[in-house]
Each structure stands twice: as structure tokens, then as C-alpha cells.
Structure 1
């Protein structure tokens, strides 16, 4: 009986199916319950693209969609792998939840369709069960990782159009690699170009080994000549997207890691400046007499020339520290050079202003007999301090400007090389058309055509 049912499923003979059911009305129930010794007739019919037979089986016993083979694959897995669109539509209509069933390798039907490049089926399954696209397989790979590993650009394009979640697109596997890391590791030029063109990839993300996409690229340059051409084009794309090695991100990473410490320091400086502003050295008058009023600063009367400077520098320190706090809580990325420079200048102003404020405060509270020697010491200290801070500021400014100019030049060179490569590709495609050759796959020959 089992053999006859398998034969009927293989040939799609519906009359034989009806005859078999007439002899044993419970045979499909046995299949659904796992008591059928042979291969599932739904799997057999699906593998042999017998669409009408599949429809007849599901009309009689819809639970057959839940039957799995020894590899834990459902009929939907098989139809997705083979690209049988009509059967996929029938199976999905019968039981949409089968999109979530995972086989022995941890793949659901969407993973299988993506890895095989079955774009129309992938579109159907994603539209039916979008959450299945977010399920991860073994080694924590996402469906996007599978597209890169199996070099399925069209599947990747479709998924990126549907999935607009930046975090999911930048998700990492067990080795900390996102899809950009893998695209470079497998030398996938077209995939790298498409992924970077979406502008949602963190081009400088680090994997578990602390390497960025650019760090992964450089050791690969020792490959064959044809591979080096591909890698040169990938390097141009990374430069255009502001890609850097891990060493070039030290400043931004340091600021990110030290964000909490900087917040504490900036808050402390703001507190000191506020306290000095409302309660200046020497205190305030307690009564109204001799030309002053209660609450006014004693320093403003006894040191009329110094008090305005004290107040100005204290205010600068207070505002600079508040600006630093605002930058730290604004959520800006500190890998941005302009943000880094603004943060450095704010901290420089805050610290320098408080140092000068401290000098004025010491002069006020020091007795006149010791003031001459103290004044001389403070002047020397302020001059040295100002010179050191000015040199540091100039050095950082020069460093940031130099990097900015260097990256601009690299990007311009990369853009020129990419435009040249595209022009050569267009000429190559035109030549193929003139010769009457198929243009299919010409985009994949870009690195070779540019030679």
C-alpha cells in the first residue's frame, strides 16, 4: 500500500490516490501521524512537481504539511529549494506557519529559498510570514549572512528592500562578522557595492577579533592577480564609504569608552564654576553700607580690575563644561572628526578657564605680604599652562585637518577609479552586444573587464 501511494505521488496519478484511499480510508491519517513507513506522499509529489496531486492531498488531509522527512525538512522546504512556485503557494495557503519550521541545519524555508536564489519564492514567503526572515540559523547566521555566503545578490537585494531594520542588517554571527565582513572575506564585489550603497551598514564595525572591514581586506591582497583586481575595487568602495582600519578608530573608541568619565569631569567643573559664580572668593557683603549692598561680591569692590576677568573666565569654564555635557548626552557619534574636535575644544576651554579662575581666587585670599611672590608664581604657571594647552589644541587641529584632507584625496581617487571601471564595463557590454553575445552575467565580470 505504501509503495503504491509513493508511485501515485511520483506520477501524480490522482485516480490511483482515490483508489488507494477507497481501500484504506485511514491511510492519509497514518501518514500524518507518522505511522507510514515509506516516504511521505506529499514530499514525493512535491519533489516531482506534481502540483495537482499536492492540492488533492491537502484537500483531503491538510495536516500533511506538518510531516517532516529524516532531515526534518517539510514539503515547503523541498518546494522552496527546487523553485516550484505554484506548489509553494499551495503549501503556504494550507499552513502559513510552516514558514517557521527549521530543518536539521536550523534553516526554515525562507533560508533555503534565499540560499538557492529563489527570489520569487522568497518574496512570497516573506510576504506571508515576515518574522521567519528574522530567525537565525546555526552559528547565529541571519538570512542575510546566507545570501552573502552563497553569493545570492538578488536574494540579498530583495531582503534589504523589505527589511529596513538597521540593527538586523548590521547583525553579527558567532565570529562577530556582519554581512560586510563576509562580503569582503569571500571577495564578493557586487554584494559589497550593493550593501555599501544602501547607506545603512556600519562600515567600521569590528568583529570578534577586533578587525574592521578594511582590516579584513588588506591581508587578502596577497591573492592571485584576478583576485587582486577585485580587492582593489572593493578597497575603492570602502574608501568612498569612509572605511578605516581599527587603528584609525582609536580616538572615537576612546571617547566612547570614556564617555562616563568625561561626563563626571564636565559635571564637576560645572559645579565648581557655578559655586565660584554665586559665592566668589572673599564672600559677599552682609549689610548695606559704605557704598555697597548685602549680597554683592566683596571682590568686586576690593579688586575692581581683577573681578571682571575672574567673572569672564569662570563663565567661560561654566558654559564650556555645560557644552561638553550637552555633546555627551546628545547621542552624537564620537568617531566623527568634527564632533571630536568640538569636544576637545570645549574641554580645553573648560579646564583652562578654571585654572585661570583658580589663580585669581588665590590672589584674593592671599595676604598682601605674600601676594608679590604668589603673583609671580601664578603668572609663570598660567603662561606655561596656556602654552601647553595651545600646543595640544594646535596639534589636534592639525591632526584632524590632515586626516580630513588625506581622506578627501583618497575618496576622490576611489571615485575616479570606480567611474573608470564603470566606463570600461559599459564599453565591454556594448562590445558583447555588437558581437551578438548574451549580456547576462556581464556585471559579474567587472573586475576582470577593467583589466
Structure 2
């Protein structure tokens, strides 16, 4: 009796190890053979001392057919946990096995809510690993899983910023569609803006400020704003171009430093300075109340700049096309036959009046190059996001339009022979465009001067008091 029991135990152990190897290999026929010999083998495997179930192994390795067969036979295995308290969905999401993830979600989408030993659900894992397609599948299957936090109170957006997953951040912000969610803090009081500044993620900072309702001056648990972190980071590493860019951008949207507040939290050694000037309380309130309106103004200004850039691209493309066509089809056409005085295919205008032809080519080339330069600058990826940059591009477009008009007047002269008509047309075109350009320049200067005076007035209205922090 004892010998038979021992023999049976050895046989069962062999079967379980064979099942283990079949899961690693994704061997479906072997799985079916084992089940034919012992219908309870999956239950015995789960009850054994193995660290993972066969479903964990097939999900980890991406064996889709084996995973489907296991789930068909025993769907409750999708909820089993391994030694790290990870479900098969955790492992499939971590390793980027999209088809396995889809298969698991069809059986049980609730496993999106399960946390592993480190407090992360499968969506957290997909974000950390940067598997955007898997993240989309998980969000579609269980949208409420986005709201779950990590061990230290991090939201899904915190994980995006911490692990530099910008595309995942954009997707989640658009999926959640809740303004308050971007302002949720972790256990350290950090919003995602605090983290983005800490990591120097300029693209993320730009997105949060212009596309979301992020609170610019939210305080962390130590009472510091995002601008404080930017200043501290820059002080520790030396003045860097990226640090300066982040500080300037935060200041532009109304960010303030804790040195402009009266809270006792700000008496930290990090910001202890002798004879530091503090504004009056009413000035502080006024300054803080303007921060949100400044942020909204930046959003509208950014949208206006984007629209103007798009319009410049359309106009530049049109003028470049016109100039190209004029260059390969000059006025008066081409000679059709060879003769002593000319050759077939050469420009008639170049033969009859070389001086006018050179003027035509010069004007047309200037217009063509100016429009091409605008197109190249706009598609080059350079940060033309401010009004001054767009104004420079606009001036270049005015130059292209002026010389395109002059090209037209030269073409009229070459075809009609009337110098008076050409001069009249050139004068009208040049005069109108010059007046519009001058008016545009004056308006631009006027706005910037007014803005400068307003900033100077607002800064001078803050009366500093000599106070030691």
C-alpha cells in the first residue's frame, strides 16, 4: 500500500512538472493530453507549491493559444496571484503581450482593479513600461481603474510623469476628462506639475499649462510651489538653459514662489535669506488672484498663435507654388524653333529684353525663397510659440508678397510694353502692402510697450518690507 502511494505521488509530481514545461513552451497538445489523463491536474497544480500557475507562465511568455485554452477550461485562474501578488494580467501587461491581455480581459475585466505587492494594478504596469496600446485596452475594459492610486498615493498621471511616459499622460488626461484629477496630490503633496518640474520635463510642463486646468501655485506638503522646485533645482545644478526655460515659462503664467507668502511653512532652511523682501498682504492676494486669469490668457494666446502659424503655412505654400510656376513659365513663353538669334526652349523675354528678364527672375526668386524659408521654419520643429516669433515670420511673408507683386508688374510690362501701367501696378501693390506692414508693426510695438508698462507698474506697486525668514 505504501509503495503504491509513493508511486502515485511520483506520477503526480511528474505530471505537474510536465504541465509546468508545457506552459513554458505554450504546448497546447501536451496540455490536452495531461487533462485527458487527469481532469483535476489544473486544480492540483494550483494547490501545489509552485510559485505561478500555468496561466501566469503563458501570460508572461505571450502564449496566446495556451492562455485561451487554460481560460476556457478554468477561467477562475485569471484571478490567481503569484508570490508577488501579481495576476496573469500584470505579467502580460508588463511584457507587452497585447493579444494575451485582450484574451484575459474577455474573461474577467475586474482584474484591472487588483493591486500587486507594490500597490500597482495592471494599468500602472502598462504606464510604467510604456505599452500605450495595452493601456488603451485596459482603460476601455475598466475605466474606473484609472482612479486607483499607488502605494504612496500616486495617481496614474503621477506614474506617467515619473517614468517619462508623455504619450500615456496625454491619453489619460483626454480619457479622464476631469479638471480636478490633474491636481490630485500624492502622499508628499506633489501634483504632476511638481514632478514634471523636478524631472525637467519641459514638454510635459507645456502640455499641462496650455491644455489642462493644472493649478500653477499648488503647494506640496512642505509648502513649496512648482516654481520653488525649479529655483531649487537650478540652484543645485547651476544655471542651465532648461532650468531657465522652465522658470520663465512658469513666471509667464503667473507662478509665484513661497518667498512671496507669509506661511510659517516657508521658514525652511532651503529658503532662509537675510533681508528678503516680502510684499504687502493685499498685494499678495492681488497677485495670486491674477494667476488663474493669466493662465487662461496664455491658453487663448497660444491658440491664437497656432491659428496664425497655420494661416502662414497656407499662404507661404500658395506663394511658393505661384513663384515656382512663374519661374518655369516666364512671360512671353519660349522659342519653339532654333534660329541664328535664339535656340528652341529658351525664354523669349530673355532674348528680346535681357535686363527686364533679370529683374523678373530676381523678384520672383526673392519671393520664392522667402516663402520657402517660412515653410521650412514652420516644419522644422523650432519653438515658434510666441507672438514675436510669429511676427518675424509674418514680416518674411510680407516680403514674399511684395516681391510677388513686383514680379506681376514686371510680367505686365514685358507682355504689354507699357512702362506706365507696370509702374502704376507696382506702386499700388507696393504702397498698399507697405502701409499694411507699417500698421502691423506699429500695432505690434504698441502692444508690447503697453504690456511692458503694465508689468512695470504691477511690479512697482508691490512695496517690500525688510523681513528675515
User: Scaled by the length of structure 1, what TM-score is found?
Assistant: 0.56
- Whether the aligned pair in 2 keeps the contact of 1:6 and 1:38 (CA below 8 Å) is no
- Whether the aligned pair in 1 keeps the contact of 2:217 and 2:255 (CA below 8 Å) is yes
Higher mean alpha-carbon deviation, 37-46 vs 63-72, is at 37-46
1:335 aligned to which of 285, 288, 307 = 288
Residue equivalent to 2:178: 165
Residue equivalent to 2:139: 126
State the alpha-carbon separation in 2 of the partners of residues 118 and 105 from structure 1. 19
Residue equivalent to 1:114: 127
State the alpha-carbon separation in 2 of the partners of residues 117 and 194 from structure 1. 18
State the alpha-carbon separation in 2 of the partners of residues 338 and 7 from structure 1. 62
Residue equivalent to 1:356: none
Aligned-residue offset at 1:29: 2.3
Query: Which residues in structure 2 correspond to 1:123-202 (within 5 Å)?
Result: 123-202=136-215
The change in CA–CA distance for 1:13 and 1:197 in structure 2 (over 3 A counts) is same
State the alpha-carbon separation in 1 of the partners of residues 209 and 81 from structure 2. 39
1:10 aligned to 2:24? yes
Aligned-residue offset at 1:61: 0.6
Higher mean alpha-carbon deviation, 11-20 vs 238-247, is at 238-247
2:90 aligned to which of 47, 68, 77 = 77
Question: Per the alignment, in what secondary structure is the counterpart of residue 240 of structure 2?
Answer: helix
State the alpha-carbon separation in 1 of the partners of residues 152 and 125 from structure 2. 16
State the alpha-carbon separation in 1 of the partners of residues 213 and 131 from structure 2. 25
Aligned-residue offset at 1:135: 0.6
The change in CA–CA distance for 1:60 and 1:333 in structure 2 (over 3 A counts) is farther
2:108 aligned to which of 79, 95, 99 = 95
- Whether the aligned pair in 2 keeps the contact of 1:2 and 1:37 (CA below 8 Å) is no
Aligned-residue offset at 1:9: 1.1
State the alpha-carbon separation in 1 of the partners of residues 286 and 43 from structure 2. 60
State the alpha-carbon separation in 2 of the partners of residues 241 and 46 from structure 1. 47
- Whether the aligned pair in 1 keeps the contact of 2:255 and 2:291 (CA below 8 Å) is no
State the alpha-carbon separation in 1 of the partners of residues 193 and 213 from structure 2. 11
Query: Which residues in structure 2 correspond to 1:27-426 (within 5 Å)?
Result: 27-32=41-46, 34-35=47-48, 37=50, 39-224=52-237, 228-248=240-260, 335-337=288-290
Residue equivalent to 1:388: none
State the alpha-carbon separation in 2 of the partners of residues 334 and 163 from structure 1. 31
Aligned residues: 275
Aligned-residue offset at 1:45: 0.8
Per-residue CA deviations over 1:69-89 (Å, capped at 9, x if unaligned) read: 100001100111111111000
Higher mean alpha-carbon deviation, 195-204 vs 176-185, is at 195-204
Residue equivalent to 2:34: 20
User: Scaled by the length of structure 2, what TM-score is found?
Assistant: 0.54
Structure 1 spans left out of the alignment, 5+ residues: 252-331, 341-403, 431-438, 444-451
The change in CA–CA distance for 1:60 and 1:218 in structure 2 (over 3 A counts) is same
- Whether the aligned pair in 2 keeps the contact of 1:203 and 1:242 (CA below 8 Å) is yes
RMSD (Å), alpha carbons: 3.4
State the alpha-carbon separation in 2 of the partners of residues 339 and 93 from structure 1. 45
State the alpha-carbon separation in 2 of the partners of residues 140 and 177 from structure 1. 10
- Whether the aligned pair in 2 keeps the contact of 1:47 and 1:78 (CA below 8 Å) is yes
State the alpha-carbon separation in 1 of the partners of residues 43 and 182 from structure 2. 43
State the alpha-carbon separation in 2 of the partners of residues 31 and 61 from structure 1. 12
State the alpha-carbon separation in 2 of the partners of residues 92 and 145 from structure 1. 25
State the alpha-carbon separation in 2 of the partners of residues 177 and 428 from structure 1. 36
